[in-house]
Structure 1
């Protein structure tokens, strides 16, 4: 029964947090390329600010509003592309008080200017829209709005659209490569409810006898899919970590549970500040917001729906017991503030940059609280229960296609392997701090991340990352025995794969330096109980079989 439970959890988790767009590989259409590719209509302008007004009618499951999109041209711009799902209606697009012509192609909207805007000009268009947004059937594993009721029968509304796209519910330039530098979000909600969004609350105002508008502002760059709204019977309480404001919004009847459960944020922040650097958005505060779905890394307003329990919905993804010592959603989704929200992939094909590093933060937290051995036990557990090694982690570029769900725990174990390749913990933690500092508030890609780690370590790591990210097979440390002489080499899909690995026997730990060519094992090394350290190095090996011969 336990194995059945973890099979079910694994199947679900493949679509957790990031709504993986699998099943479309190699069958891409014009619709995919319009969403995922970069053309002059997108690259010739840089979004500076979204000023989003949206009114939510839970009874009708209907939203309406305007997004005032401010941008700066990087080239002459006769027309631009914004995005909004086909089921949503664009009522009008205004530029300097006049309506602009526009036409749709699937979810892409091409806006034409009467006269091309010159390079290096700052302009704003107002996009008025309305409609019944797509409702998620199993959030957050599919994208959409969530209209539900709390246990007191009050409306509870939220949205989760990572992977699916923020253009599901508001007009924007829906591509990871361009983040607005600031955002204002104005949410008109039923007057007896509270609306919570990203950043800091700037105030509220009564619109009429039925609706109150809640005004929020973000002053840091933010991913489109991270811009969200939450509406419910919320109460707020606060805390402080060093100079960082901690804000919590939970349903009124869960206040006492939350006050106890959210105490975990303090040791988490203490750990992350030391190991991966300061919180990247202090100006916008850190928030946990209770949601009617499991969780999502909504920047400065992390969605939380784990029931105030330890583990992943009360279960341990690693099947080791270690995962039951802490709240999975608090740690994982908060880790995304550093990896995914601050450091963002330019193309969704490189989502491993978000998920692999964030999944590794789970092990970082465990190590801070309970020690390295527990962290290694957890990582070894999740790679056994959760990794399939059936598809490459990197997806296809330019078509809005993510890679394999192995980006989570295979990726985390890859990063853990790199730590022990470096074999210097002081250097390792300095590298992670430098990574989050140097790449703070930027969009990036695989090549840039690999180049950074190569520069920091002085190692040739392109073959290492390529083997784990672009191929399904793990590196195999092969051994053979001929006339009592044992030889070893790496068997990999890539060429020039060279990383050290740790062996141990009853007497000592041994570090060897395999390449793709056969080398002889030092004959002075005792082969009695000789093992490869598979907790520190995520590889396969045939050593045990060879020693039995």
Structure 2
């Protein structure tokens, strides 16, 4: 996703913070309450999409109370079922017994009543002999029935899922399709994209809606196997019927629009690629479609679509021409081909800040260029097409592979747009917002929401990449990054379709070690598996400086240290975590003058709970965005 979170759980309640973020849902800002690297400057959001609800309109007291409770980590009236609010959690034995091959979702959206009604057809392959399958779905939605090959199937509802008994057993290796009819009022997002669900708004009387469910999962609005670990291998189909005048943007390519006799039009989208459940999104509104094309590094010319509110069409066109083209050139040059060039690069203006939905990224930043010379939200969400969508973490504990990289790529881009000044400005912001309360890679994390409780997956993840890049060098670091994403360090000519892959932190460590020609596990493990940071003890006496690394859990840490002595930089070996260097009396000495190493410095605060100031920041931000985007409850 886009933003780190404050702690989300209060008892059984799943909540998320709206602290602005290192990762990308916010323009650049120096607010001390914001998580750096992104900077969170909606306070300067002069171009917020104009919804029908004006900024001066008062929010209902119940909504204000819910927003405040969410910001404080307290339960609020419409809190989700605690299990529905988890995505990426352990699968049941029934769910482990089948592999999803294809999803076909057909929905009628009724904004006037904020209800949905439709069906989901899931094609699966049995991994063992099956007599039933289990899918996840918010208990707030009703299952009307299920069929298999036209034959009625028995449905048993569990708290946060349901089981469909198959009319006949399916042998291992065979496939079958179950169609589920369902509907109701989907969970309404309280403060999207952090508190996810359906987002309802309107523009001049025309409905404007979206879905955003990263840390809660697809089961908030459609029946699915709510895990990152089982993507539909053969792709997805999404058919959405919405009131005439509402244009619907979704994943893949548009296969057609059918006008109904009842005033509803059906928009059919098709993709042959695998998707994580939360990355399948629908968006509807009075859009104007900006269309361009781009010839990628592998020679393929692919379409770019930006579904903008009509009033912002000119801004969207400029954004595509000045930013999207440049961002694509950067990512393809540094990492490799855009992964979905056989379908589209997609953005859609949303009634929330944004989200990395595959081929249809949500964008609600107001067409602003940040202080580092680019629209960092657009850049961040596009980064996730490489770091999150085509390369996906295999376990929730590996979420830093998405967000650490997603955040760090903005610093690398700022290095190109504004030089060292921009790069280190972002890295300094990330550094001062490290919490070092929890390990970045924590095997105790049971679902994706828990992983996002720790904003260090952004900040410390980015600093690990910075430190590793300095240690092993440019060539090895970027070759390793490309292998992580594409399986090869030379992906430039890869044809479409490009195969997605799952990765773990262990994969990252192995690949980087191979590219570096040395084992870097000691470096990765020190930063990711410990809550704290290495501490460099410096002692100067007479004409010598003694250096000693102290690490959490006394891990070995032979990290060499650069020392500037009257402007001359000398690299000090630290083979046994100690080293020394001669220094003339009176010489000016700077340790690690280029800030190459993530280490404990006194500018980082202690690990403690969120402060009242931060809570108030979140409350103010929630309520302001509720007015600006016209969120309807």
Instruction: Give TM class, smaller chain.
Output: 0.7 to 0.9
Q: Measure how far apart 1:4 and its partner are.
A: 11
Q: Is the 8 A contact 1:271 1:368 kept in 2?
A: no
Q: Where does residue 169 of structure 1 map in the other structure?
A: 221
Select which of 383, 392, 396 maps to 1:335: 383
Q: Where does residue 317 of structure 2 map in the other structure?
A: 259
Select which of 125, 132, 142 maps to 1:89: 142
Q: Measure how far apart 1:93 and its partner are.
A: 1.6
Which residues of 2 match residues 29-48 of structure 1 at below 5 A? 36-48=89-101
Q: Where does residue 281 of structure 2 map in the other structure?
A: 228
User: Which structure would you say has the larger RCO, counting Cα contacts within 8 Å and 6 or more residues apart?
Assistant: 2
Determine whether 1:269 maps to 2:328.
yes
Q: 1:4 to 1:257 in 2, by over 3 A?
A: closer
Q: Where does residue 539 of structure 1 map in the other structure?
A: 599
Query: 1:245, 1:366 → 2: CA distance?
Result: 26
Q: Where does residue 428 of structure 1 map in the other structure?
A: 477
Q: Where does residue 546 of structure 1 map in the other structure?
A: none
Query: 2:168, 2:402 → 1: CA distance?
Result: 40
Which residues of 2 match residues 87-486 of structure 1 at below 5 A? 87-150=140-203, 152-181=204-233, 182-242=235-295, 243-263=301-321, 264-311=323-370, 321-322=371-372, 325-384=373-432, 386-395=433-442, 396-400=444-448, 401-403=450-452, 404-423=454-473, 425-438=474-487, 441-481=500-540, 484-486=543-545
How many residues get paired?
520
Query: 1:366, 1:467 → 2: CA distance?
Result: 27
Q: Measure how far apart 1:521 and its partner are.
A: 2.7
Q: Is the 8 A contact 2:557 2:577 kept in 1?
A: no
Query: 2:466, 2:88 → 1: CA distance?
Result: 34
Q: Measure how far apart 1:63 and its partner are.
A: 0.4
Q: Measure how far apart 1:508 and its partner are.
A: 1.7
Q: Is the 8 A contact 1:191 1:209 kept in 2?
A: no
Q: Is the 8 A contact 1:195 1:231 kept in 2?
A: yes
Query: 2:302, 2:521 → 1: CA distance?
Result: 37
Unaligned runs of 5+ in 1: 312-320, 543-549
Q: 1:251 to 1:14 in 2, by over 3 A?
A: closer
Query: 1:257, 1:351 → 2: CA distance?
Result: 33
Q: Measure how far apart 1:518 and its partner are.
A: 3.0
Q: Measure how far apart 1:370 and its partner are.
A: 3.0
Q: Measure how far apart 1:373 and its partner are.
A: 4.5
Query: 1:69, 1:294 → 2: CA distance?
Result: 31
Unaligned runs of 5+ in 2: 1-27, 42-69, 75-80, 296-300, 489-498, 603-633
In structure 2, the residue corresponding to 1:100 is in which secondary structure?
Answer: strand
Question: TM-score, with normalisation over the residues of structure 2?
Answer: 0.77
Q: 1:515 to 1:476 in 2, by over 3 A?
A: farther
Query: 1:399, 1:500 → 2: CA distance?
Result: 37
Q: Where does residue 314 of structure 1 map in the other structure?
A: none
Once the two structures are superposed, residues 296-353 of structure 1 have per-residue CA deviations (whole angstroms, 9 ceiling, x without a partner) of 0000001000001123xxxxxxxxx43xx21111100000000011111122232111
Once the two structures are superposed, residues 401-456 of structure 1 have per-residue CA deviations (whole angstroms, 9 ceiling, x without a partner) of 31511211221121011100113x23333332232211851122222222222222
The alignment's C-alpha RMSD in Å is: 2.9
Once the two structures are superposed, residues 71-122 of structure 1 have per-residue CA deviations (whole angstroms, 9 ceiling, x without a partner) of 1112222332210011011111211222222323321222322443211001
Q: 1:516 to 1:64 in 2, by over 3 A?
A: farther
In structure 1, the residue corresponding to 2:552 is in which secondary structure?
Answer: coil
Query: 2:245, 2:236 → 1: CA distance?
Result: 25
Question: TM-score, with normalisation over the residues of structure 1?
Answer: 0.88
Stretch of structure 1 that moved more, 348-357 or 105-114: 105-114
Q: Is the 8 A contact 1:14 1:405 kept in 2?
A: no
